[in-house]
A and B are shown apart, each in its own frame.
Chain A
Amino acid sequence: MALNFLISFFSIALMALLVSVNFRIGKFLNLSLGGLFAAGGYIAYFTSNPVIAVLSGLAFGFLLYIAISGICRSVIEATVLSLGAGILIERGLEIVHSSSYYYFVSFDYTNYLIVLGAVSYLAVFAAYISPAGLKIKFIESDHELAEMYGVNTKGVFSAATSLTSACAVLAGFFVSGSLAISPTTGFGYLISGIIVSAISAQLRQIGAVHYATLLAVSLAIAGLLEVLF
């Protein structure tokens, strides 16, 4: 019971964290995270190797960073590009997914999602407390000004996109044991992440406080879902 609640809480909180990091540092709504989450399930089904999940997530995130920084000039353009990337993954998975309606994996690593969620939040809090935290806050509040003052915005942006993509794929990999895998598996998680992130953003906080709010809102929503269902 408590374990299920923790899994539900961390699945919402983790997706909200990934959406928020991309939006605050990369300045775009990363809609490819849903597709990446589903891709994690397929990697679990075909290879059972989490290293492949992490590496493919990192590679995809870096490619996404290159595409966005190369051709996009606004938040909307970058968001639409990430949507295209998400649809590309989903359609690619649909082509791969040919033998039956849903896939099921034989192992269950769902509990590791709790570890992944906790580690991700701790890493973000640590990043904000570290000397680099001030620079990240600077990028969050004014991206262009931070660049003018010599902050390595590109490095932070590429790291944020790559690491969050890897996290999304790994989350999908871990959760796959408790899911019926299909190309659209990730959309529900993505939407819940966006909703939590949007609610938390209303408080207009910067830095670690925002991520603490994400945890609180995720906890409230997970609690509400527990009561309702």
Chain B
Amino acid sequence: MKKIITETSPIIIISAVLYTSPYSSWLFVLMTIYALLTISWLFMRMTGRISMGHSFLLGFPVFLASAGYSISPDVSAQLFLAGCFLSFTIFYIFSEFTGRTAFVFLTLVFSILIWIVSPKFAFEINGYILGGEVGFNFPVIPQKMLHIIAGASLISLFVLHRVVESSRIGYFMRAIGDDETASKAVGIDLRKTKALSVFLSGVSAWSAGLIYAFEFGHVSPEIFSIEFSVFPFIASLLASGNPLFSVFSSFALVYLSKVLNSFYPGLMGIFYSIVLILSPKIGRWAYVKGKRLDEKIR
């Protein structure tokens, strides 16, 4: 309990400090969206599944919801739930019927496929063509309220991650991540545990997607972009997989993207690509450093 309070206090302090001005509040919400995406990714990684297509889990329900909002808010809510169910089912099928390596390929290829296909999705209402590359509108909510909702979501999902991680089910998840066959041999229910991992990951990603839509008031096919897919991998890599550091690295990456893109648009993409190219080296270095830091803390 003490550990959780210690870990959540910096997030609360950052949230309070950034509450002061409209721009900093907007930036905090943006940081939170990415941090929630990273937490979502970490839930799935607990069972040894490295997703490179998390943009689908984040974007699909809210993309459908925004399309439905063009018809009515009720349709929007129903489509959001349908999107949550579908994205959960697809990721669960991927995690259940593929090995670790195939899961990486499948999620990545699937998210790129959705990214390519989604701009083709358009329909006509009252003589106006909606969708396509432009996307759909979504209602916005007042910035201060969104700030509080985003902060509360981040803290609660971070705490949930920490609780799950140190619980019995968390050990089961990590056991599956280490060795699936051995976990099955000792009686762990693989299907239920994997389903729970995907569901928890989904809850975090769906929250991030909703906050994204409320923040921008608009959802376009760019929500399925590769940047969204690779972001949690990069954030976690730079934080050596530690959940708290992953939240901070997500914050730092979002801030860095604002700084770099203000120098030259697209510069952050170059940064991401360099991190991906050097990821094997960075991953090993961060793993060793993380282990040492962990030992020091203990």
Residues of A whose CB lies within 8 Å of any CB of B are 29, 31, 67, 71-73, 75-77, 79-81, 83-88, 90-92, 94-95, 184, 187-188, 190-191, 194-195
Contact = CB atoms under 8 A, between A and B. Distances in A.
Interface of chain A, main secondary structure: helix
Interface of B: 50, 52, 100-101, 104-105, 108-109, 112-113, 115-116, 226, 230, 233, 264, 266, 269-270, 272-281, 283
A194 B109 contact: yes
Contacts of A79: 104-105
B132 to A, nearest CB: 14
6 contacts: A31-B108, A80-B233, A80-B280, A81-B277, A92-B270, A191-B112
Contacts of A86: 273
A188 B273 contact: no
B276 A91 contact: no
Given A77-B280, A79-B104, A194-B109, A87 B272 contact: yes
B118 to A, nearest CB: 12
A207 B4 CA distance: 56
B270 A83 contact: no
A88 B270 CA distance: 6
A204 to B, nearest CB: 14
Contacts of A29: 105
A191 B226 CA distance: 13
B279 A81 contact: yes
A66 to B, nearest CB: 12
A106 B226 CA distance: 31
B279 A80 contact: yes
A68 to B, nearest CB: 9
B116 A84 contact: no
B113 A91 contact: no
A206 B170 CA distance: 41
A72 B226 contact: no
Contacts of A76: 50, 100-101, 104
